Each structure stands twice: as structure tokens, then as C-alpha cells.
Amino acid sequence: MAERTTVIATGGTIAWHAGRERMLTGAELAAAAGITAVDVVDVTAAPSWDLSVTDMEDIAAAVRAAIDGGSDAVVVTHGTDTMEETAWLTELTLGDARRRRAAVVFTGAMRFADHPTPDGPANLAGAVEHARRAAGRGLGVQVWLAERAHAARWARKVDAGALDAFDSGGRPESATAPPALQPRLNHAVTLLKVGPLARPTLPTDHAGVVLEGTGAAHVPSALHPAIEHLVAQGITVVLATRCRDVDRTDVAGSALLRAGDLTAEKAAVALMAALGNFDNADALRRWWSKAVEAGKSTSLPTT
């Protein structure tokens, strides 16, 4: 059971009060949820679709600071649109010691704070209770919504209208920790959708490119020469998919990386973090293989 709890507020639907035309503060959210004995930190107050990668880094840094300051249960209120990306970035940069010591839970809401029946207060209260129970268990960063917990690695917002908006494909609450990284990101990564309706010109001025293909991360043959050119220029290319649970990672002898079970967005976050930590392509590839393989240590339930 946690002894010290911190609530980090970042805005989002959970905080938006239409009548007052402003975001509620972390203290106001805690009061509405009936939560006491917590430290409150306000990092930003924005809808999550407006957050930048730098904002995401600031939120992850606030989580680390809270744990380093003595908190063993940290709850982040966040907009649901990009919650999964910020939670995953936080997981990547949390570090082994913090992961073992503290529980980190992201939560939000699908209804405004002044809705006649808001879901935010119950989600926040549930997230705090869950984080306090999970403290010291090494579960890693989780997303909590509608009385369900999801590992940050697999959490996906799958419904823009339902209160139970997130799913993790039947995966357990916790994923194996990815190899720890320093909190340094290389922002020169671009994410592109490719397929019959998307044949973009691939950029040559980035450190990394994530291509979201179809099926098992398939990309149009017409783009193969451009991809080969990127690789020849030393640009790291990751193949991802719009589907879920693709059981493919790094292929021996291939210059390309595969996102495996990561969404394209999470693959882009991971690539930014990897490029911020490794100058050597072989070291980056070794980390990538371990990081992607780590999430596959727990298989889906069979039917």
C-alpha cells in the first residue's frame, strides 16, 4: 500500500468545465473525486490532441520527479486522445528502480467535468486506489479507465464515444519492462501512413522514419527503392502496421526494424527515445530487439 500519492494534472476532457470555460486544476479534480492526502502538480492544461512531444516529455519528467521526491503512487490526469503515447513514453524513460518502487497510472474521462453524470471523478478515484494497491509491485505504467487497467504498451483508444474507450487486446495489466533509457529524445522522426491511398514522398532529412503499412506491415512495392535509399543514407526505418498483434520484430540480416506489437505511434515514440540514446546503429538495433521482444513475453490467451 502506498504511503505517498501524487496527482499530476495535464488537462483533457476530465478537466474541461464547459460552464466555466476553463480546465480545472489538479486540486479541483482531486476534490471532485473525494481524494485526500495527495500532492498535486499541475504540468499543463490542454486537450491532449494539442500536446507536443516536448509536452509529453515534460509530463514524463514530472512523473519521475514525483517518484524521486518520495511518491510511490503517481496518477496522471490526461486527455484520452493521446494518453497511450504519453504513457508509453513515460514507461520507456521511467527506469528500473522507479518502476520497482512506484506505481504510475494514467487516467482521464470521456465526459466533461460539468456533465450531468461525469465519469472523471470515478476514474480518478479508481486510478488512485489502483495505484496505491499496485505500489511496489513493479507493474510499470498503466492506463486506467472505466474500472479497467491496461499496460501502457498495449493500451489503445478504440472508441471515441464509449466510456470504456480503451482496450489492450486481452493482454494482462503489466508488460515486461523495456530496457531502460535515459530521458533523451531525438525529435527528428516522422510517421507516415502508406498503402493504396497513401504514397508519400519519403523524407531524407530525418534521423528516423516509421511507416505504417497494412496487414503484416506491408508497404507498396513502388516505395521499396525509396526505402532502400533511406537505409543507405543511414536513416533508421521502422515498419509498423495499422493492425494489432503482429508477431514480427527485427529480421536477421534486414536493415529495417519492425514495430512488432507496437502501434505506429508508439513505435515512433520508441524510435525517438532510441535515437536519443544511441549513436551507433548496432547498439540501437540491439536495444530495439530487446525492447520489442520484451512485450511479447506474455502471450495472448488462447481460445
Helices 53-68 + 83-94 axis angle, to 10: 50
Q: Which residues have C-beta within 8 Å of that of residue 102, sequence separation ≥ 6?
A: 2, 67, 71, 72, 73, 74, 135, 136
In the three-class reduction of DSSP (H, G, I as helix; E, B as strand; rest coil), residue 61 is classed as helix
- Binned at pLDDT 50, 70 and 90, residue 254 comes out as confident
For the cut 50, the answer to whether the pLDDT of residue 129 exceeds it is yes
Q: Residue 172 and residue 68: Cα distance in Å, rounded?
A: 27
User: DSSP per residue over 196-233, as a string?
Assistant: TTB-PPPPSSSSEEEEEEBTTTB--GGGHHHHHHHHHT
Amino acid making up residue 81: D
Strands 148-151 and 236-241, sheet pairing: unpaired
Helices within the chain (DSSP H only): 26-32, 53-68, 83-94, 96-101, 120-134, 224-232, 264-277, 281-294
Catalytic residues: 13
Given this model, what pLDDT does residue 2 score? 79
The pLDDT tens digits of the residues spanning 31-69 come to 999 999 999 999 999 999 999 999 999 999 999 999 999
List of domains in the chain: 5-167 (3.40.50.1170), 189-294 (3.40.50.40)
Instruction: Check residue 295 and give its pLDDT.
Output: 64
Residue 87 DSSP SS3: helix
How much is the pLDDT for 283? Answer: 96
Residue 1 banded pLDDT, cuts 50, 70, 90: confident
Q: Please check the confidence at residue 217 and state whether its pLDDT lies above 60.
A: yes
Query: Model's pTM, two decimal places?
Result: 0.95
- Residue pair 265/191 in contact (Cβ under 8 Å)? The answer is yes
Residue 170 has pLDDT above 80, yes or no: yes
Backbone conformation region of residue 70, classed left if phi is above 0, alpha if psi is from -120 to 50, else beta: left
Whole-angstrom Cα distance, residue 193 to residue 30?
39
pLDDT one-digit tens code per residue, 233-252? 999 999 999 998 666 655 54
Query: How many beta carbons lie within 10 A of that of residue 58, not counting itself?
Result: 15
Please check the confidence at residue 303 and state whether its pLDDT lies above 60: no
